[in-house]
Amino acid sequence: MSERLATFRGAVSCTRARDVPGLTLSGTAAEAPDEPTALAFSAAAPADLPPTLQDALVERLGDGGYRIASTSGEWRLPASAAHLHRDVAAGFYRAIPPRPAPWSKRAFWRVVLVLAGSRAGLATLRWLRR
């Protein structure tokens, strides 16, 4: 029995490393087209895995390994773990827009930066810190 772990749409970059993670797939999730996704495996990449895949599907197999299927082929990884990372910042900030800074705080920092731009202003800031 297999369980779908990630589905990528478009080009997927395959990054190999000597240390853990041994293989990282980076691309765009098919479920959310604007969401960059990275899937890192704790195993070495197969020797015949190309540097780029197209429309990849990753499944967790019942025996503890993983299967990577793409339009260019299929590969099995005997990895002990996989870590899925999704960048949800865009969706988060659409749902909860950042609060604008109060005018008093903006004015304060504008004055501080203007003072820091000159020697006399720096001396004034040092005197005010005492």
pLDDT digits (tens, 9 = 90+) for 62-96: 877 899 999 889 999 888 888 999 888 878 888 98
Are 70 and 122 part of one and the same domain? no
The tokens describing 10, both together, are 């478009």
Q: In which band, very low, low, confident or very high, does the pLDDT at 125 lie, cut at 50, 70 and 90? A: very high
Are 117 and 55 part of one and the same domain? no
Highest mean pLDDT among 15-24, 74-83, 100-109: 100-109
Are 62 and 113 part of one and the same domain? no
Number of H helices, E strands in the chain: 3, 8
% of the chain with per-residue pLDDT over 70: 99
Task: Decide if pLDDT at 120 tops 90.
Answer: yes
Are 80 and 33 part of one and the same domain? yes
Which residues are within 8 A (CB) of 93 and not within 5 positions of it... i.e. 6 or more apart? none
Are 65 and 114 part of one and the same domain? no
Q: In which band, very low, low, confident or very high, does the pLDDT at 110 lie, cut at 50, 70 and 90? A: very high
Range of the domain at 32: 3-93
Q: How many domains does the chain have?
A: 2
Are 71 and 38 part of one and the same domain? yes
Average pLDDT over residues 89-113: 90
The tokens describing 28, both together, are 């765009």
